[in-house]
Chains A and B, each alone.
Chain A
Amino acid sequence: MNVSYAWLKAFVDFDLEPRELRDVLTQRVVTVDDVVPLRADLAPIIVAKVVECAPHPDSDRLSVTRVDAGTGELLDVVCGAPNVKAGRSYPFAPVGTTMPNGMTIERRKIRGTVSAGMLCSARELGLGDEHQGILELDVDASPGTPFLQAVPVGDTRLVLDVNPNRPDLLSHLGVARELAAALGKGTRWLPRTGARDFLGELTREQETMTRQLLDELPTALAGERLDASAIAEAVTSVVGKEGEGAVSLIEAVRTMPDRPRHRGAAEGETGGVRVVLEDAQGSPRYCGVVIRGVKVGPSPRWLADRITAVGGRPINNVVDATNYMLHGFGQPMHAFDVQKLAGPAVLVRRARAGERLVTLDGVERALTPAMTVIADAERAQALAGIMGGRDSEVTEHSADIFLEVANFDPRLTRSTRRALGMSTDASYRFERGVDVEWTPFWLTHAVALITQVAGGAAAEDVDLYPEPRATTPLRLRVARIARVLGAPIAAQEAIALLRSIGFIVEWVPGTEMLHGDQELMVVPPSWRVDITQEVDLIEEVARLHGFDAFSSELRPFRVGTVPDAPIELLASRIRATLANTGLFEVRPMPFVSGEEGHVRVRNPLAENEAFLRRSIIESLTKRAEYNLAHMQGDVRLFEIGNVFAPSSGRLPHEEVRVGALIMGARRPPHFTEPKPPPFDEWDAKGLAELIAETAFPRRDVELVSGEGGALWGVHVDGRSVGAVARVALDAPVWAAAAFGVEMTLEGVSSADVAPPGRASPREVAGPRGPAPVAPFRALPVTPAAEFDLALLVPNDMPVAQVEAVLRRHAGELLERLALFDEFRGGGLPAGMRSVAWRLTFRHAERTLRDKEVTGRREKLLRALEEELGVRQRTT
C-alpha cells in the first residue's frame, strides 16, 4: 500500500518529516517498508551560491558567474537569466546531471566561455511553468547541500506493509485516523467514529455534515487548508452522544432505523437506470448513481499528482476520481458508460454457465456461476469487485456514466479473482473487507469530486442494502486486559485509547466501581472488520499503549512438563561426531524427480522436483554431483533429516535419518603423502560403525554383509536400521568411488494427538536418572601373551567364519583377536589368500606359561583344520 506524504497531510495536521512519520507509523500502526522521495530525478541538483557575476563579454543577454557549489573551488558558469545576482543561492545542475526533461548537462563553451553546469529555473526542474528567470532560493542551506534536502519540493511515498487483518489501513483516511490518534489530533473532514452504526437519527446530521464538507472539498483538494472548526463542531456533536451510557447505546444498536431511502430494498432506480441486486450474498450493499453530461478528459494537475504519488497512472478525470476515492478513502468504485448498458439496467447477479467477459485488460474471461458479475439487461459487464468490462468502459466519448459504489463479499471476491488468476487494487480491498456502512457516504463524496473535475449532473442515487449488518457490542473485562498483558492498564486509559481510534466505549452498568470486575461495552467502528472478540480489543489497547511502554524485566517461571525430544539430543551428538570426523553437514532440499513409490507434491514448484525423497542418499547424491560439476572431487557430506514414504494412512510415513556420503582422498595431501589413497569400502564400513555406535550406544551393532544389494546392512539389536553402499553417481572419469551410509534414527509419529478441540495429556514422566553404562573393569596387572596366526583362507570363505572358530576355541583368556594382514597372490595356492591375526591372551592373576600358550595355538590350528579345513601358511 502506497501512501503519499502530502496526501496524508491533507487529512491530519502533523509536523513529522517523512522518516519520523515512518517511525511513528511503524511502531504504532503499520510497518513502513520504504520511504521513497518522488522527485528522485532532482537528487543530483545541489544548492549553489553565485559569488561573482559579470556580463558576458560577447553577449548582451548572458552573464558569466563564479559559482560556489561546495566543491572547494569556484566554477565558471554561464547564465542567461536576467535575475542572476551575486550573493544569492540557486539550484545548480553540475556537469553530468540528467535533467527532468532528459537533457544531460555537459561542459561546453557558450560564446567562447566554458560553462561547468547550469543554474536552473523552476520549469527546468519540473516545478512549475516559471521560466523567466532562475529559481532564487530563500534558504540558509550551505552550497553543496542537495536541493531536495534544502527545499521541500516533491512528495514522498511511504510503502506500507499492511497486514491482511487491517483493510481499514488501505487508504489515506485509514492511516490518517491512526496517525491522528497517535499524535492526539483530529482528522479533517470526517467524524472520527462510525457513529451512524448505532445512532440512527444521526444519519441526517451526517449527511448535513457531508454536504458541508463537500462544499469545501474542492478548495481543500486544490491545496488550501480547510477551516476545520465547523467540522470539528459537527464531529463533537456526533461523538458527544457517546456519553449517554451503555443502556442507551445497546438500545440504539438494537433499534437502528433504516436509512430513509432504499435501505432494505433490493431494487431501485437512478437517472433512468434500473438497478437490481439479485445476488445479495455477493454484494451485501450496492449503491449507484447516474451522472449525466460529464466531459471526460485529462484530470487537473492536483488529481493527476495524487494518482502519480501512489504509483498509479492518470487515465482520465472520471477514472482518476474513482481511483482517488479508492486510495483516499479505501472505497473501490467503477464507472460504466450508460450508453453501453443495455436496458439501461444494472443487474448484480451470478454469472451464467459459459458466460464470457472481456475485462478492461483485454483478456477474455470464462465465468462460472460461482462468480458475481455486474450485468446489463443482456450480459455481464464487469467482474464484481475486481475489474470492469472493456465494452462498458468510460472513454473520452462517454457523456453519461453510472457510478458504482458497492460492497462485495470478501470470500467470493477472493475465490473469483483466484480462479481467474488476477488481482486488482479493488479486489485486494474487497477480499480483505471494505466498510459496508459508509458506502453511500463515499458515493456522495465521489459525485462531488467527479462533477467538479468532469462536470455533469447527478441523479438521485440508489442504495440497495437488503440486510443491514448487525452490530453487537463486545464485552471487555478490565481484569482480562491485565491478565493477557501481564500488567494492569487502567480502565480510563483503555477507554481513552479505544475511543481515540473510533471505538465507542461505555461502562457496563454497575461495574464501574467494582474494582477487579470492571467491564466495558465496546462497539468497534464499522471499518474495523477485524474486531470480533475481546482479545482483539486487548490487542488494540496494548498497541496503542505502546509495546515499548511495557516492562522487560524477566519474571520467575515454572519448569515445563514437556521432556526433551530425544531425537534432537541424539542428532546433536551425531552431528558433532561426524563433523569431527571430517564431514560437512548439509541441508539440501528434499525434492527429487519422480519415481514410482515416492510421495508426490500436488502443486510442485517444478515437475522434475515433484516428489519427496525416500532416502537421504538421494539428496546427497545430487549434492555430490553438484560438487563434481564444480571440479570438487573430495566430497564428505552428511545430513540428519526427514524422509517420506507413501503409506496407507492419511499422511506419508516419515522417518528421521542420518545419511553420509564420502568420496575422494582419505586424508588431506601432505608432502610425505602427496596422493593419499581414496576412500574405500573399509572407510565406509568404519563410518557406519561410528555412526551406529554414536546413534545406538550400548546396543548390539552388526554389519551384515551383502544385505539387500548393499555392501552391508546395518543391524541394531538384530533389527535392520540402514545400509552401507557404493553410490552410483553421474561422475566424470577422474572422480573417485563414492560410498554412502544411511540409518534410520527415529520414526516420526504423524498421528493426531487428539481430535480437534480436545487434549490427550500424556502421563508426565518425572526426571530421568543417568543412562546405564558398562561398569568399570580392573586394569590388568599381569603381562599378556601374544602370538600371530597366518592362515591360508579360501577366497570365498568369510573371515568372520574363521574368527568364529577362533573365538570358540581360544578359551576365556583370549583378550583380543585382531586381523592385521591380508595377502593375496605370489606363492599361495590358487583360490587362497593368507590372512593373519594377532591373538592376545591374559590371565587376570598370573603370568601365562609358555606351554599354556603353545597349547592353545596348537588347539586352535587343529580346530581350524577340522572345522574349516584351514591351515597355517607355511611359505
Chain B
Amino acid sequence: MTLNDLLDAARSLERDGRELIARAARADELAAARTALVGRKSGRLTELMKSVPGLPADARREAGAAVNRAKETIEAALSAREAELRSSGPAALQLDLTMPARRVWRGAVHPVTIVIDEIRDIFRELGFTIAVGPEAETEWYNFGALNFPADHPAMDMHDTLYLTDTTLLRTHTSPVQIRTLQAYPPPIRVLVPGNVYRRDFFDPSHAPMFSQIEGLSVDDGVGFVDLKATLVHFANRFFGKRPTRFRPSYFPFTEPSAELDVQCGVCRGSGCPTCKQTGWVEILGSGMVHPAVFEACGVDSERYTGWAFGMGPARVALSRWGIPDIRLLYDSDVRFLEQLAQ
C-alpha cells in the first residue's frame, strides 16, 4: 500500500464512517457501527493503522497523522450521535408506537356471578352471612317443611325433576332456610345463593337449571316493616334510587307474601315493552316466614318471627346487559363471554 492509497483509504473511512454513524437509528446500531469502524479486533481503522508501519519511514508521519485525524473524526461523530440518540428520546428509536401492545389473555367471572356478588355485597353490609346446601334434596326439605300442601295447584309453580319418589333436584334455595333454622338458633341473617332446577324446557326465558339467591332474617321482634325496609334499601342500592312498590303474592312458606317491583329503568314508569306497559319491573318475591315453617324446624313460632326473600340473578343479568335469550348465559360461547368481559 502506498502512502496515497492509505490517505485515500483514510478519507473514505472518514466519509463512510460519518455516513454509517448518521444512519444509526438506535443504540444497538450505533454500537455495531462503532465496532465496524474502530473495533479493536477488526475495525476498519485498526486495519488501517496496521498498514502504517509497512510504509516507508518518511511517509509514516503523514500517514499516522491522517489515520489519527480519521480516528478523531469518527470518535467525535460517534459521541455526537450517541448524545443525539440519548437526548432525542424514543422517537429516535424509530418504533411505531401505534403498534398493538402485547397482552395476556383476559378472563372473566360469569355475568350471573357478577350479579350475585353485587347482591351479596349489599346484604353483607346489612349483617348477612352466606349459607349453602345440597342441590339434590328430599321432598321434605324442598316442599314438606316449607308448608307446600300435598297435591295442590301450588305445586304447579314448581315443576320438579325427581330422582326417586321422595328425592329431587331442589326447585328453590329455600331448603337451606330449613337446614339453617334447624341447625342454628336465632338471630339468623343469611343469604343463600345456589342453583335450582325446574322441569322447564329451554326457551328464551326458561332454563331447567338456574341460579337463585334468597335471604332469611329471623329474630324475636322482626316484622314486615323490617322486610320492607331492608328490601327497599337493597333495591335502592342495587338499581339506584327508583320508586318501589309491593304487590300481594302467594308463597306457601311465607305469609303475608309480597312481590317487590321497581320502576322500569327503561321508560321510568311511563310504560314500554320492557315492562309490558306497566311502568314496573318485578324483582323479587318475599314474605314473613310462615309459622308452619318454624314449627317444621322446631323453632317457637310464637316467640320468633322472620322474613325471607328470593330472586333470580339470571333475570337481572338479562335485563342489565340486554341479553335477549337466557340460553346465551348457559351456552358458554367464548365470543359471548369475551364480549361481556370487555
The answer to whether B106 touches A582, judged by C-beta atoms less than 8 angstroms apart, is yes
Q: In whole angstroms, how far apart are the Cα atoms of A543 and B298 in the complex?
A: 28
Q: In whole angstroms, how far apart are the Cα atoms of A280 and B209 in the complex?
A: 42
A104 close to chain B: CB less than 8 A: no
Chain A contacts for B211, CB-based, 8 A = 587
The answer to whether A623 touches B332, judged by C-beta atoms less than 8 angstroms apart, is yes
B103: contacting residue among A432, A651, A652, A668, CB under 8 A: A668
Within 8 A of B (CB), among A520-557: 533, 535-536, 538-539, 542-543, 547-548, 550-555, 557
A554: contacting residue among B229, B247, B296, B299, CB under 8 A: B229
A567 close to chain B: CB less than 8 A: yes
Q: DSSP majority for the B interface?
A: mixed
Partner-contacting stretch, out of A45-53, A163-171, A714-722: A163-171
A60 close to chain B: CB less than 8 A: no
How many chain B residues touch A (CB < 8 A): the figure is 111
The answer to whether A756 touches B259, judged by C-beta atoms less than 8 angstroms apart, is no
Chain A contacts for B140, CB-based, 8 A = 756
B127 close to chain A: CB less than 8 A: yes
Partner-contacting stretch, out of B43-51, B68-76, B79-87, B216-224: B216-224
Q: In whole angstroms, how far apart are the Cα atoms of A557 and B126 in the complex?
A: 9
Chain B contacts for A672, CB-based, 8 A = 102
Q: Which residue of B lies closest to A760 (CB)?
A: B182
Q: In whole angstroms, how far apart are the Cα atoms of A761 and B187 in the complex?
A: 12
Chain B contacts for A22, CB-based, 8 A = 278
The answer to whether A29 touches B184, judged by C-beta atoms less than 8 angstroms apart, is no
Least Cβ–Cβ distance between A686 and chain B, in angstroms: 13
Q: Which residue of A lies closest to B105 (CB)?
A: A582
Q: DSSP majority for the A interface?
A: loop
The answer to whether B110 touches A562, judged by C-beta atoms less than 8 angstroms apart, is no
The size bracket of the interface on A is: 35 or more
Least Cβ–Cβ distance between B143 and chain A, in angstroms: 12
The answer to whether A555 touches B104, judged by C-beta atoms less than 8 angstroms apart, is no
Q: In whole angstroms, how far apart are the Cα atoms of A580 and B138 in the complex?
A: 38
B305: contacting residue among A410, A484, A542, A547, CB under 8 A: A484
A196 close to chain B: CB less than 8 A: no
Within 8 A of B (CB), among A740-762: 748-750, 752-754, 756-762
The answer to whether B182 touches A575, judged by C-beta atoms less than 8 angstroms apart, is no
Contact with A along B164-203 (1 / 0, CB 8 A): 1011010000000011111111111110010100010100
Chain B contacts for A411, CB-based, 8 A = 151-152
The answer to whether B131 touches A163, judged by C-beta atoms less than 8 angstroms apart, is no
A634 close to chain B: CB less than 8 A: yes
Chain A contacts for B297, CB-based, 8 A = 754, 757-759
Q: In whole angstroms, how far apart are the Cα atoms of A578 and B105 in the complex?
A: 11
The answer to whether B225 touches A487, judged by C-beta atoms less than 8 angstroms apart, is yes
Q: In whole angstroms, how far apart are the Cα atoms of A654 and B162 in the complex?
A: 16
Q: In whole angstroms, how far apart are the Cα atoms of A754 and B298 in the complex?
A: 9
Q: Which residue of B lies closest to A590 (CB)?
A: B209
Least Cβ–Cβ distance between A493 and chain B, in angstroms: 15
Q: Which residue of B lies closest to A31 (CB)?
A: B247
Chain B contacts for A698, CB-based, 8 A = none
Chain B contacts for A536, CB-based, 8 A = 255
Q: Which of B112, B166, B184, B250 gathers the greatest number of chain A CB atoms within 10 Å? A: B184
Q: In whole angstroms, how far apart are the Cα atoms of A763 and B157 in the complex?
A: 37
A644 close to chain B: CB less than 8 A: yes
A601: contacting residue among B102, B169, B195, B245, CB under 8 A: B169
A703 close to chain B: CB less than 8 A: no
The answer to whether B184 touches A582, judged by C-beta atoms less than 8 angstroms apart, is no
Q: In whole angstroms, how far apart are the Cα atoms of A560 and B193 in the complex?
A: 17
Are A565 and B108 CB-contacts (below 8 A) given A164-B154, A632-B335? no
Are A560 and B127 CB-contacts (below 8 A) given A568-B193, A626-B333? yes
A641 close to chain B: CB less than 8 A: yes
Q: In whole angstroms, how far apart are the Cα atoms of A432 and B331 in the complex?
A: 39
Chain A contacts for B247, CB-based, 8 A = 26-27, 31, 547
Within 8 A of B (CB), among A227-250: none
B1 close to chain A: CB less than 8 A: no
The answer to whether A605 touches B201, judged by C-beta atoms less than 8 angstroms apart, is yes
Q: Which residue of B lies closest to A22 (CB)?
A: B278
Chain B contacts for A554, CB-based, 8 A = 226, 229-230, 233
Q: In whole angstroms, how far apart are the Cα atoms of A454 and B21 in the complex?
A: 115
Are A632 and B334 CB-contacts (below 8 A) given A29-B248, A557-B189, A762-B183? yes
A61 close to chain B: CB less than 8 A: no
The answer to whether A586 touches B110, judged by C-beta atoms less than 8 angstroms apart, is yes
The answer to whether A579 touches B107, judged by C-beta atoms less than 8 angstroms apart, is yes
B316 close to chain A: CB less than 8 A: no
The answer to whether A652 touches B136, judged by C-beta atoms less than 8 angstroms apart, is yes
The answer to whether A759 touches B299, judged by C-beta atoms less than 8 angstroms apart, is yes
Chain A contacts for B132, CB-based, 8 A = 565, 567-568
Q: Top 6 A-B pairs ranked by shortest CB distance? A: A486-B223, A582-B105, A759-B298, A163-B250, A547-B246, A486-B225
**Chain B residues in the interface with A (C-beta under 8 A):** 99-100, 102-110, 112-113, 117, 126-138, 140-141, 144-145, 151-154, 156-157, 161-164, 166-167, 169, 178-190, 193, 195, 199, 201, 207-209, 211, 217, 219, 221-226, 228-230, 232-233, 245-250, 255-259, 276-278, 288, 290-291, 295-299, 305, 329-335, 337-338, 341
The 30 sampled A-B contact pairs (Cβ below 8 Å) are A27-B245, A164-B153, A482-B223, A483-B305, A486-B225, A535-B290, A539-B255, A539-B256, A548-B245, A551-B225, A554-B233, A560-B129, A568-B132, A582-B107, A585-B108, A585-B113, A587-B110, A612-B136, A626-B332, A627-B333, A636-B105, A667-B104, A667-B105, A749-B134, A754-B298, A756-B296, A757-B295, A757-B297, A760-B183, A764-B184
Query: 6 new A-B pairs (CB below 8 Å) besides A554-B229, A568-B130?
Result: A483-B305, A552-B232, A554-B226, A561-B187, A586-B332, A753-B182
